[in-house]
A and B are shown apart, each in its own frame.
Chain A
Amino acid sequence: MRTIYLSMVSCVLVFGLSGCGSKSIEKPQEVAQAQKSNGADDELASFTDEMKVQEIYDPLSGYNRMMTSFNDAAYEYVLKPVATGYKNMLHFEIRNSIENFFENLYFPVRFANTLLQGKFSYAAEETGRFVINSTVGVLGLFDSAKSCFELEAHEEDFGQTLGYYGVGGGPHIVLPLLGPSNLRDTLSLYPDSVLSVIDWEERDYWTLTDTPAEYIGVKSLEKINTISIHMDKYEKMKEDAVDLYPFLRDMYEQRRKKQIEE
């Protein structure tokens, strides 16, 4: 397993560093074609550079499109009805506490990745958050670090760490149920899972789950809980999609780019 993983990682490194992760659509002659015949065109031309969209490397588009439809159907017909029932059953404050609890558990992932990126002040803040939320916040159920000490969370993962060191995203991949991702971020799920206490593999330290069944149960709870909180947002956002797959794909890649820059 580890050898396969390592060879895949070296693949993504080669992919990313060789710079074929993404290419720009605007060829020089196309830019030049943004002609300057009259005033109105002049005004448009002044936006050309700014609105240059990075074309996403997408050799798997056929599969990705299919998986996007699958995920959307799974959302509409399974996840959404379940999350709606769950939402009606539990008060928002409780669901919010469950979300906080999971977020607190992923502290080692965020901590390690802030350190790997040399963001020491973020690492310190994350540690502060973990200590406060695990104690004052009763095992992470309440985000006291934010409400009382104004310590904000920093979402950092291994995909961002690789991106920080210049590794490109590689081909875009839509994962079953997890949604949009790319090769770099998919492979990064493994190192992050090693630092997560929600895992079924044998570990030297305490883990929340011990068997695959427990793991799936806990992960499903986490997913349904997240959906129940953010349901409206996803649906409002989806209303703007003319074509769901490229819409979600571009949003994902733009979001990751911003996260890596931060």
Chain B
Amino acid sequence: MKYIYKIVLAITAVLCFGQNLAANEQVELKEHFLKKIDEIILIVAKKEFTKDERNGKIVKSLTPMFDFELMAKLSLGNRWKDLSDTEKEKFVALYVERMKQSYSSKIDAYKDEKVEIKKVEQAKEDRITLVTDLVSKTEKLEIAYKFHKPKKPIASKDSWLIYDVEILGVSILKTDIAQFKEFLHTKSMSELMDALAKQS
């Protein structure tokens, strides 16, 4: 009897601990995210920097939180595996640079907006979505940040990484997947790379 009691206790302990761990992970991620936002708001507010300096600092602060490399691979869909190793390397570099530019210029345009976390969703063990509202004086913009946890941690990166951002339901990554696919229907990979290079 005592034996069964011990087993039950052990199982309960494991279950509670496991659940606690997941909840903790969410709380940690949420806090880390808000800390990052504060950090970025401080950079944006510093008007003594030039625009380029500001963008550089924003990129430096954001990079550990984003998995731009994964986004680059996913953006090509089925075409990714057809690339040669040098092409892969070149494409990732171009895509990452474009993303950095795109994010920093968008964030630099923020004024008096506040970020509020509305919901935390965990669909799978290694996926968390933070649903936030970007609140300005006149409107509210729903932005969802999708995080994944790579099996092997990546050096110089956070343990949870953003791989997609959805603004009012429009996924940045899905939009890229669709437009690259259409582009490659009529044009070549090197033309796509030229187009990406022009954007950053």
Q: Which residues of chain A have a CB within 8 Å of any CB of chain B?
A: 25, 30, 33-35, 39, 41, 43-44, 47, 51, 53, 56, 96, 152, 232, 236, 239-243, 245-247, 249-251, 254-255, 257-259, 261
Minimum CB–CB distance from A259 to chain B (whole Å) comes to 7
On chain A, the residues within 8 Å of B148 by CB distance are 47
- Give complex CA distance A258, B73 in Å: 25
Complex Cα gap A53–B181 (Å): 10
Q: Is residue B17 within 8 Å, beta carbon to beta carbon, of the partner chain?
A: no
Q: Are A34 and B74 in contact (CB under 8 A)?
A: no
Task: Give the size range of B's interface with the partner.
Answer: 35 or more
Least Cβ distance of B91 to chain A in Å? 13
CB distance from A65 to the nearest CB of B (A): 10
Tell me the minimal C-beta distance from B142 to chain A in angstroms. Answer: 9
Q: Are B105 and A250 in contact (CB under 8 A)?
A: no
B74 & A39 in contact (Cβ 8 Å cutoff): no
Contacts of B168 in A (CB 8 A): 255, 258
B196 proximity list for chain A (CB < 8 A):
242
Which residues from chain B contact A254 at a C-beta distance below 8 Å?
169-171, 174-175
Residue numbers in A under 8 Å from B74 (CB-CB): 44, 47, 51
Closest-by-CB residue of A relative to B138 is: A96
In B164-186, the 8 Å CB interface with A consists of 164, 168-183
Interchain CB contact (< 8 A) of A250 among B77, B175, B195: B175
Is B109 a contact of A236 with CB atoms below 8 Å?
yes
Contact of A242 among B77, B78, B173, B192 (CB under 8 A): B192
| B2 at interface, CB cutoff 8 A | no
Asked whether any CB of chain A lies closer than 8 Å to the CB of B20, the reply is no
- A255 near B102 with CB under 8 A, answer no
Q: How far is the CB of B187 from chain A (nearest CB, A)?
A: 9
Tell me if B163 is interfacial: C-beta within 8 Å of chain A. Answer: yes
A30-B78, A44-B74, A250-B174 are known contacts; what are 13 more A-B pairs with Cβ within 8 Å? A35-B81, A39-B152, A41-B81, A43-B70, A53-B177, A56-B178, A232-B109, A236-B109, A239-B105, A250-B175, A257-B169, A258-B169, A261-B169
* B70 cross-chain contacts in A, Cβ below 8 A: 43-44, 47
In the bound complex, residues from chain B placing their C-beta under 8 Å from that of A259 are 169
Q: Which A residues are CB-close (under 8 A) to B138? A: 96
Secondary structure class of chain A's binding surface, majority of residues? helix
Would B179 and A242 count as touching, CB distance under 8 A? yes
Report B-chain residues with C-beta under 8 Å of the C-beta of A243: 179, 182-183
Contact A53 B178 (CB under 8 A): yes
Contacts of B182 in A (CB 8 A): 243, 245-246
Q: Does B49 contact A (CB under 8 A)?
A: no
* Chain A CB within 8 A of B150 CB: yes
Q: Which residues of chain A have C-beta atoms less than 8 A from B32's C-beta?
A: none
Give the complex CA separation of A34 and B77 in angstroms: 9
Nearest A residue (CB) for B168: A255
Which of A25, A56, A152, A245 is the most central at the interface, judged by chain B CB atoms within 10 Å of its CB? A25
Task: State the CA gap A38–B164 with chains docked (Å).
Answer: 23
- Given A43-B151, A258-B169 in contact, is the A240-B178 Cβ separation under 8 Å? no
**Residue from the list B102, B177, B199 in contact with A51, Cβ < 8 A:** B177
Chain A to chain B contacts (Cβ below 8 Å), 25 pairs: A25-B181, A47-B70, A47-B74, A51-B174, A53-B178, A53-B181, A96-B138, A232-B109, A236-B105, A236-B106, A239-B102, A239-B105, A239-B199, A240-B98, A240-B102, A240-B172, A240-B175, A240-B176, A240-B199, A242-B196, A246-B181, A246-B183, A255-B168, A257-B169, A258-B170
CB B169 to nearest CB in A, in angstroms, measures 3
